Structure 1
């Protein structure tokens, strides 16, 4: 891109600073950056104090300050591939004139013709670029060639501005000229002409170098029809405005998960990894992604009509809003329902006109080729697409976009009849939807408040939209439910002036009509009109005060109810907290009880296993009282009466020598003596005094096991003792250098020799070294 740089010194005396301005020869655009410090200094100087800038070209302006400056001075910028911001030549010369530096750069830039220009640059006598020279009004209202306003409110005085004067009126909202708004197509997306084709100065000076060519919609483009959402409930005869379908309620969360995964993979392929494969997905087709998501969720159908947010918006709503035309086409082709609305009944096309994305990208006309069924829909407030276009014009920074949407919409309706149509059979919407149908069914259709689109546009004060609607045939005398008409806001009152008919001429026409008897011209009664307006205002004021009072009473009652419910809520929360505490305690006790029961079961199982090892069966111990102290398993086992007999016999007959007792007495002898002692009247009481047989057997088995364990322990000790003795014998054999079988005979002498030695004289270190060397 060829750029012309011009450097001049600004300021006075010692405070002069070099300023370099850059202009593109291809587009005539100026680099924005050098203007920002000067504009900031101008704002600061008019504000709280002087602001000095040592080097204008190297002064950085914060992003927030830059946004404020662009908004304050109505500057529209275009960004190139290197993120540099450029402004139109007209705006640049306007800023230079405002900053009082135009005289420094005027001759330099006039002497530098742009590519494709004639010998002289198209500038007027004041150095202002007239390539896009158009008069502007402060409220965004344009003027035509003879400087008369295209539209104004009733009662306003319109003064003419000289065409060759230096003061260009600027649209404070977007900095766009009104004629560009009236043309079909987004003024931000012009077709950049080929270098070898004839140059159009207006188009060439407007299109930035970094904007890609956009094909202008023509009647040769085919409209493709689809019948998957065309049901009989919608396509009634004759065709009329229909309410949008309510968003579907999807209870299957798997469908929502599959749709979200598909959209994430489709819109953000670089960060999503839906499957385990690692192939590149940046260039995968729509059908490939459908197949891949079906493999991931094989048993779940892909429902493209599932709402994706809490407002009931479907994917078609979102993608139409962000002007993603290619994905919108694919969604419509694959079954998205175009008649669905969100929670308040707004269709996907309404979402498209409520943002400027389709205006910036110039995609609205092609979007209509796929979403045209939405043109016959209205939301829950009975507002059509025309209502929403007009409402968009009242949003900040959206007036040009709304005018673009309106013109594209009406142009599409007109050109549709000559365009080829292909697809799924006939389409009654396309067959019926023409300019006559739009005027009859949409242009003057009221919403739930009784407002037509012209009524809303008149209240918003958008003159361009009002004039366009009047040109299309909107009726300025249709009143809403409050009795207000568009003409009450000045809509249509400027048509006579804009058509070149003065008030004097209008009165002359009226007088002529009266004198000729064609009709009666009634002179309006001004005083009566003022009295009626005053009465209306008084009535409105009384109604307003009454409504305010009613609403205040309702508000007080609501506050009282709110406080009561707050107290109830606090009480319920306390009860809930107490209930949760009791629930936690109950759960803890239940867990402890379960642990105790499990412990009892484990102990019972252990007891059964031990009883089984001791020879006690379940039948034997079923009648035993294990809680009695009589069967304490930890006490030394003895039968008292037998113990007493043996103790007396040991003490009296054997002098306490148990060995003699064991040698002299046998078990049978002792048993006979015991039986004879308890044999009375022929009854043997011994059976009743002895412990149960299973307990005695268990004792015997326990003693046997203890004997076995003790014997095993003794055998182990003996083995260890024998191994230890062998090791010591081996040590002595090595120390004394004698045979191992002679060590036992030398132990006594060796022990006597060692005991006679002084322990202090024994060389223990030498002995330790010896033991380490001969360790076994």
Structure 2
């Protein structure tokens, strides 16, 4: 096991060796051993602006190669191995990337390809009690309430609660987002730790984002699997591309979540966990605490001392036996890393009064004299705690007891913890599904209300259209009546004008000339008065008809102007085209039915 592990990979069709240091990929080309100088400066913590100036100043233009296209991580300035070594020493990161700098490419045949790790199918089940290779620790009992690895806040994934392991994941008919579907798939893998089932589920789900957050704390599937001691699941996730140094909202890696719980201790599988997660050993969280700090902090919980000793023992052993071995400077830097309070792992162990944990760290090379932000050393805390009687430390009373070779109660306790965790997951999925259904029902009701309002508006618009069509028909009929009355009036007046002379002639011819002298003027005057009255009545009738016609005409003009959105003085220009359009309609036309927009075509006689 390499600390950090070196892989082989291919980027932009170029094979490289790769390792991860503090979450940053460091690459070395296989064909000429050129290294990415930009990545070396990133490991040194130099910001982008300064990196550019350093590369321009210290890299020979004839030697360096700038790569700007292709895969993102592969981009940067590539330079020779010797220049890379000088650059690493100058900026004090040689110890961090020493495995890559001193790596012998002749042994490349033994290097694993990135994302492909050895299978663990031949390993016995985690639930079977086994003997430990190192029996210096006794077994404390733990309960689900004590497990820091069982998350207090459950996942926020919106997923279908009927997801099953072993079923093919096909296209979903639900309206959930792609992110929610990914959460559903990743959550369902925790229903089983069977390698075949987990592998089948991951392979059946194309373009699955394994690094998506599953809960409000930003934990990924790898965080959950590590905390629950699911070795097979961890193996499959890393094989399919899950990022081992992915950090949650607190900056914790899956390895940190693993040591925060006792599941790996109960199942005695921490060595296997380290096999897949050791690449994140040097990563710090947002408080600059390493995994060593997190192991020391577990002592604060009652009954966790033996788990902390177990984790620390195997982690330090793995660090010591790393191949290629880590340099003493790298190990010392890890052991003496200080957090935001200036405390090292030894200092935290001293504050929690755990001398056996202190001894493990000191034997590995940790410094007992480093001071924290308040000026106290681990020895100061140890001296302050020394007078206390050991009987007042209930969490450490069993440290001297020999560890039994079997732990029959471990699997039972673990089953309870897993069941409690899965119950929380199911409850959360049920709540999220209920919330989603409520949201959809609310949206459906809003759509129905909007449809009802739109239908009512359409009904009112149709009624208004029918009324305007009726008014238009009445206007046309009124115009026709006006024309008929005008014609009748003109005919009657013409007949009257011809009738009066004829009557006068007939009267004159009928007069008896012999008696003309005896006739009085009264009958003639009476006839003239009757003619004049008749003429006055006809003129009054004509004037009334003209006034009524003008009023009807004005009403029709206003109606046309309102329907067509025109000014009143523009209506006269459209009277003739509208009349032609109405007269050309077939007699069986349904005026109450609105025509589609495609039927409104300009007529040949219409001119705008």
Q: Give me the TM-score of the superposition, normalised by structure 1.
A: 0.32
Question: Which structure's relative contact order is higher, taking Cα pairs within 8 Å and 6+ residues apart?
Answer: 2
- Structure with the greater alpha carbon radius of gyration: 1
TM-score of the aligned structures, taking structure 2 as reference length = 0.41
